[in-house]
Amino acid sequence: MKLFVYAFRESDEREIFDELAAKYGFTYGTCAAYPSVENAHLAQGYDAITFTPCTFAKEQIDAFHAVGVRYIAARSIGFNHIDIPYAHARGMGVSHVDYPPDTVADYTVMLMLMGCRKAAYILERARLQDYSLAGKLGCDIGDLTVGIIGAGKIGATVIQRLAAFGCRILVYDVFENENVKQYASYASLDELIAKSDMISLHTLVTEENVHILNDEAFARMKDGVMIINTARGLLIDTPALIRALNAGKVGFAGLDVLENEDGLYYYNRMGDCIDNPNMAILRAMPNVVLMPHTAFYTRRVAYAMAENVVKCVLDMQAGRENPLINT
């Protein structure tokens, strides 16, 4: 098997893919850029490509199909960025990855605690040697009602973590999980939005839930609600979030993902003029923590993602079943 790795990170993935190549007996090529029509020729002669989230629509699929690529392996849990029906129509297999949920769950709780204790603001003021207490009064997370939208592996792990703090936890998901019921109460989306002091997103993007948090949703929330997103940027209508922050409806936002982050996150853009006004507005707000999509980023998860890519491609080639292969 020959695998071409786009959006390749030399700093950590070289060691991982070298180890996996020796273990599974494949060869691989690399490119730091995202896959595109212009660089599709680099994958000539390769069986499969893999990449981190970026738009992969019909024109990209056609370009890679033309150079002989037959398998598309997303190096991410989400796969809404790939036009899967069109890829299948072209005879190309598509897969995504899975990894232990603890890493993102712990990062989510970190953002929650930062919001409760105004950590970003306190650190910024301390950097300027302002050690006064005014404006820095926090709250205890155990006193809050926390709403979790999406109770898959990561959401369920967050719920378990929060239970130890003594939070009241509401959860919305189209599928109910009996284990989750030990720690949380299932609620309708409307009830969760209206009653939660903090809302955390843990669901994949679908046609139905793009901008699940929009102007209408924010209007029905408690004043000062805290919003956490370590899932997908498209789940939040960013201009609506900015309006809610400006109005004081949202008191804190901890965001590891953002709409239109392609070409920004995972690149060194120091000194560049970045054409993303919404990002600039959010970065200027003292009650917003904007992280560059790093909730997943530990070696354990990076290795698991890469290994799942390899396993999926080998399984697609061999015609073996794998729950991570999109059919």
Catalytic residues: 232, 261, 293
In 3D space, the residue among 156, 93, 146, 131 whose CA is nearest the CA of residue 313 turns out to be 93
Dihedral sign for Cα atoms in the order 313, 20, 257, 158: positive
C-alpha distances (whole Å) from 209 to each of 205, 212, 303 are: 6, 5, 30
Return the SS3 of 134: coil
- The HSE-up count of residue 125 (CA atoms within 13 Å, CB side) is 14
Pairing relationship of beta strands 325-326 and 93-95 according to DSSP bridges = antiparallel
Written as one string, the DSSP assignment of 25-85 is T-EEEE-SSPP-TTTGGGGTT-SEEEESS--B-HHHHHHHHHTT--EEEESSS--TTB-HH
- CA angle, 274 then 279 then 282, to 5°: 145
Written as one string, the DSSP assignment of 136-167 is -----GGGSEEEEE--SHHHHHHHHHHHTTT-
Q: Measure the CA–CA gap between 65 and 258, rounded to whole angstroms.
A: 30
